[in-house]
């Protein structure tokens, strides 16, 4: 059976599974549609949260983002700490209390706690901006993964993916999405782990990638540590060493913090904790979610760095035993005739890898041609620039099974895993958007007397529209796909996280404070990002060049969410201090959400 | 009934104390060992890596895990002590 048929079979089987689950888990009430009937066991909710959280970017790109970073792999550790540390904040500061509150959406909490439809509306706007920007990348991820493995166009892939999500999200709501995400988690973690174990065995002799990262370099007997070998090889070729220290400690701290509080403030993650039966379950569930996330996140830096060393030594065969530059580079003849290296041409065909014999010597020299010392060596040896012109970040995960010569079904599994990661995150985001529209806008403002049946229908129609909008945005992505993630995290950090935390931990912060705080966080963060990345991301409209010299105190636009959050907290406390304290019943509401007792009785309304 | 608010206040104060201790550990392993103190700890090695590097790419995640489970366990105990469990 050829690879294409195998991919089709495995991906098709995974889709059949998702649709089967959707039919089994139809939602019959709004409580089931918004919060899966609040009956999801904590371990399962942890798995669903992990799938919800880990997007196509986590699955396909993160290992490469870390391993191939020009500033070195260590400097990218912010992603690892930030995207996991946020769960500590969720478990300690938000999830149990929001579960006790017992309602369906994040804006609903904001509206009730701050006794204001205005505050609820501001929260809805923040939620929609955050979730819509985030969902664009997911829809692209679905299209790209389809295109890569199933030989359809990106647009066609997007249509197929959107139809699948449509089936299980519109009929199943949160209930269908939750159980599908559990299945999707299983698919994606198996697909990620198998190639990781094999590459770790090959490079370090240790089958656990987490230990392999700290182990010895197996091809020379394991006396030299893997990390020092990697550092030595990349430095010899003029790149920054993998373990190099960061150039800006302050920015790294702020960036990590932005990702942490941004994670804790993402509405589609928060609503997952509304689905468990009890307050105690919300606490356990956050722990289980992190267990399942950590299985991938502790493996990612190992996989990325091992794949990078593997590719580098492939192009400099002498680097395995000694110094890369003491031997010759990989020859074109070798690439085209050696069956062990057939994967190089396979991936060149996908556009993720590219080489060009610039000086016509029949060999492919891979080095950093921006490095002055390498330029001197290149001039001496007659090289005319780096000839391995492109190694895409995604290569580090997608190409591993072939490089490690694993059987075809593993490659097919990686395709299904990438699709599972993208689809599960898209579905979670779409639910957050549609519940904000049907529950907060329609039920909360436009037509409060809507019947249960009417609201369920409204929720399904909103979900349908959200999918159409996301598909359209995926087909016509605004030219800023990379920057929008910074915006989503920055805004979640600067708006949702502070307002929720103050709503729980302070009885004094009132509606004026909450509204001013959210608006200050929203505008300062958005303006700071627009200043450097272009107003509304329109290319060429940036006021200042996006370089560290221009940044305020060296804080990058992606790290500004932390500052936005501080400004939000500060202005909310200030305004609250000079205006009237919240009414008695609101202070009692805060008292009641702080105590677990009685959550079981709470219902949706 | 009169003692209920007092009990709830004591429960909340104990909860806030546990949160503050947990967050201190959370910040120490990530921002502390993983970033700010990395140069100072560079002499200590974990396998082939230095301690700060290990905390940044592996260790802090493991500590986060232990922290959440510790918090869930400790709070369940606290809930029972104050009779506020579900």
Contact yes or no for B8 and A594 at CB 8 A: yes
- Render pLDDT for A409-420 as a digit per residue (tens, 0 to 9): 888 999 899 999
What is the band of A50 on the pLDDT scale with cuts at 50, 70, 90? very high
pLDDT in tens, A301-354: 999 999 999 999 999 999 998 899 999 999 999 999 998 898 898 888 878 899
For residues A103-130, give the mean pLDDT. Answer: 94
The three-class DSSP label of residue A281 is helix
ipTM tops the 0.85 cut: yes
- To probe the interface with A, which of B6, B18, B26, B30 has the most A CB atoms within 10 Å? B30
- Asked whether the beta carbons of residue A214 and residue B22 sit closer than 8 angstroms, the reply is no
Portion of chain A with pLDDT greater than 70, in percent: 98
Considering only CB atoms, which chain B residues are within 8 Å of A211? 47
pLDDT in tens, A491-547: 999 999 999 999 999 999 999 999 999 999 999 999 998 888 888 777 778 888 888
Q: What is the pLDDT of residue A604?
A: 45
CB A109 within 8 A of CB A101: yes
Token pair for A181? 């995400």
**Position with higher pLDDT, A147 vs A428:** A428
Residue A601 has pLDDT above 50, yes or no: no
Which residues touch A586 (CB under 8 Å, ≥6 apart)? A113, A114, A115, A507
Residues B84, A226: C-beta atoms closer than 8 Å: no
Inter-chain residue contact A81 with B22, CB threshold 8 Å: no
* Per-residue pLDDT at A281 exceeds 50: yes
- How many CA atoms within 13 Å lie on the side-chain side of A117? 9
Give the pLDDT of residue A250.
94
Asked if A81 lies within 8 A of B56 by C-beta distance, the reply is yes
Closest alpha carbon to A55 in A419, A421, A397: A421
pTM of the prediction?
0.93
Task: Say which residue the tokens 């819509």 belong to.
Answer: A132
Partners of A480 in beta bridges: none
Q: Give the pLDDT confidence score for residue A602 in this predicted structure.
A: 43
Does residue A605 have a pLDDT over 70? Answer: no
Domain that includes residue A432, residue range = 3-306+406-593
- According to DSSP, residue A358 is labeled T
Contacts of A412 (CB under 8 A, 6+ apart): A3, A6, A7, A9, A10, A11, A149
Check residue B32 and give its pLDDT.
Answer: 96
Q: Is A407 helix (H, G, I), strand (E, B) or coil?
A: coil
Query: Do the Cβ atoms of B5 and A84 come within 8 Å?
Result: no
Segment A539-592, tens digit of pLDDT: 778 888 888 888 888 899 989 999 999 999 999 999 999 999 999 999 999 999
Number of independent structural domains in chain A: 1
Q: Which residues of B touch A290 (CB under 8 A)?
A: 61, 64-65, 68
8 A C-beta contact, residue A433 and residue A130? no
Across residues A130-153, what is the average pLDDT? Answer: 82
Q: Are B35 and A215 inside 8 Å of each other by CB? A: no
Dihedral sign, Cα of residue A459, residue A464, residue A469, residue A470? positive
Closest to A204 in 3D by CA, of A188, A215, A220, A193 = A215
Task: Decide: helix, strand or coil at residue A364.
Answer: strand
Model confidence at A433: pLDDT above 60: yes
Instruction: Please tell me the distance from the alpha carbon of residue A245 to that of residue A516, in angstroms, as a whole number.
Output: 39
pLDDT digits (tens, 9 = 90+) for A169-218: 888 899 999 999 999 999 999 999 999 999 999 999 999 999 999 999 99
Instruction: Using alpha carbons, list the distances in angstroms from residue B47 to A180, A214, A283, A480, A546.
Output: 39, 5, 33, 41, 38
Q: Please indicate if any CB of chain B lies within 8 Å of the CB of A252.
A: yes
Across chain B, which has 86 residues, the per-10-residue mean pLDDT values are 75 96 97 95 88 96 97 95 89
Domain-wise residue ranges, chain B:
4-81
The percentage of residues in chain A with a pLDDT greater than 90, rounded to a whole number, is: 67
Does residue B40 belong to the interface with chain A, where contact is any CB pair within 8 Å?
Answer: no
CATH of residue A10's domain is 1.20.1730.10
Is the pLDDT assigned to residue A101 strictly greater than 60? yes
Closest Cβ opposite residue A228 in set B22, B36, B48:
B48
pLDDT, average across residues A47-52:
95
Cβ of A253 and B31 within 8 Å?
yes
Per-residue pLDDT at A479 exceeds 80 = no
Q: Which residues 6+ apart lie within 8 Å of A379 measured at CB?
A: none
Interface test with A, best of B1, B25, B71, B86 (most A CBs within 10 A): B86
Beta-carbon pairs below 8 A across chains A and B: 142
Would you tell me how many other CB atoms lie within 10 Å of the CB of residue A351? 10
Contact A213 B31 (CB under 8 A): no
Task: Write out pLDDT tens, residues A218-249.
Answer: 988 888 999 999 999 999 999 999 999 888 99
For A294, nearest residue in chain B (alpha carbons): B61
Could you tell me which chain B residue has the CA closest to the CA of A204? B48
DSSP class of residue B28 equals I
A352 within a domain of the structure (yes/no): no
């Amino acid at each position: 059976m050829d690879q294409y048929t195998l991919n089709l079979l495995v991906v098709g089987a995974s889709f059949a599974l998702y649709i089967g689950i959707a039919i089994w888990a139809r939602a019959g009430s709004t409580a089931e549609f918004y919060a899966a009937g609040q009956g999801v066991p904590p371990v399962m909710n942890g798995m669903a949260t992990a799938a919800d959280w880990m997007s196509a970017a986590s699955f396909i790109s993160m290992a490469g983002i870390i391993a191939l970073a020009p500033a070195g792999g260590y400097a990218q550790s912010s992603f690892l700490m930030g995207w996991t540390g946020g769960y500590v904040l969720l478990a300690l500061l938000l999830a149990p209390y929001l579960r006790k509150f017992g309602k369906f959406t994040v804006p609903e909490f904001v509206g009730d706690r701050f006794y204001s439809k205005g505050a609820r509306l501001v929260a809805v706007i923040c939620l929609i901006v955050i979730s819509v920007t985030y969902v664009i990348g997911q829809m692209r991820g679905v299209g790209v993964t389809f295109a890569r493995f199933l030989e359809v166009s990106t647009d066609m892939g997007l249509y197929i993916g959107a139809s699948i999500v449509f089936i299980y999200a519109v009929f199943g709501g949160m209930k269908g999405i939750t159980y599908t995400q559990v299945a999707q988690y299983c698919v994606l973690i198996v697909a990620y782990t198998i190639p990781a174990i094999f590459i770790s065995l090959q490079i370090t002799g240790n089958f656990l990638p987490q230990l392999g990262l700290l182990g010895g370099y197996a091809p020379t007997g394991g006396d030299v540590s893997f990390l020092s070998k990697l550092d030595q090889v990349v430095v010899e070729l003029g790149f920054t060493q993998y373990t190099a220290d960061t150039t800006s400690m302050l920015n790294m701290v702020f960036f990590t913090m932005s990702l942490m509080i941004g994670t804790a403030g993402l509405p589609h993650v928060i609503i997952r904790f509304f689905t468990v039966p009890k307050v105690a379950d919300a606490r356990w569930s956050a722990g289980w979610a992190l267990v399942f996330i950590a299985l991938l996140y502790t493996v990612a830096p190992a996989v990325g760095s091992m794949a990078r060393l593997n590719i580098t030594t492939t192009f400099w065969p002498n680097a395995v035993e000694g110094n890369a530059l003491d031997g010759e580079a990989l020859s074109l003849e070798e690439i085209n005739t050696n069956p062990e290296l057939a994967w190089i041409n396979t991936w060149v065909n996908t556009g993720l890898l590219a080489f060009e014999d610039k000086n016509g010597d029949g060999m492919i020299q891979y080095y950093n041609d921006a490095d002055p010392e390498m330029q001197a060596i290149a001039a001496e040896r007659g090289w005319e620039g780096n000839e391995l012109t492109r190694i895409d970040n995604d290569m580090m995960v997608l190409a591993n099974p072939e490089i490690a010569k694993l059987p075809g079904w593993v490659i097919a599994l990686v395709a299904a895993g990438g699709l599972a990661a993208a689809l599960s995150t898209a579905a979670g985001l779409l639910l957050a958007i549609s519940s904000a529209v049907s529950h907060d806008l329609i039920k909360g403002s436009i037509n409060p007397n809507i019947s249960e049946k009417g609201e369920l229908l409204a929720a399904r129609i909103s979900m349908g529209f959200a999918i159409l909008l996301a598909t359209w945005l995926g087909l016509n992505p605004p030219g800023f796909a990379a920057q929008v993630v910074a915006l989503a995290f920055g805004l979640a950090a600067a708006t949702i996280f502070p307002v929720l935390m103050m709503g729980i931990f302070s009885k004094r912060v009132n509606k004026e404070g909450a509204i001013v705080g959210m608006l200050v966080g929203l505008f300062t963060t958005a303006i700071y990002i627009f200043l450097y990345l272009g107003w509304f991301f329109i290319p060429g409209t940036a006021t200042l060049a996006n370089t560290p010299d221009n940044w305020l105190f060296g804080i990058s636009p992606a790290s500004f969410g932390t500052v936005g959050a501080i400004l939000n907290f500060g202005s909310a406390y200030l305004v609250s201090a000079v205006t009237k304290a919240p009414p008695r019943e609101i202070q009692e509401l805060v008292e009641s959400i702080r105590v677990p007792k009685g959550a079981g009785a709470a219902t949706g309304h | 009934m009169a003692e209920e608010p007092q009990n709830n206040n004591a429960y909340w104060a104990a909860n806030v104390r546990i949160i503050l201790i947990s967050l201190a550990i959370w910040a120490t392993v990530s921002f502390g060992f993983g970033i700010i103190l990395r140069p100072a700890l560079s002499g200590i090695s974990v396998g082939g890596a230095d301690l700060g590097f290990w905390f940044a790419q592996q260790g802090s995640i493991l500590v986060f895990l232990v922290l959440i489970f510790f918090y869930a366990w400790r709070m369940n105990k606290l809930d029972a002590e104050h009779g506020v469990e579900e």
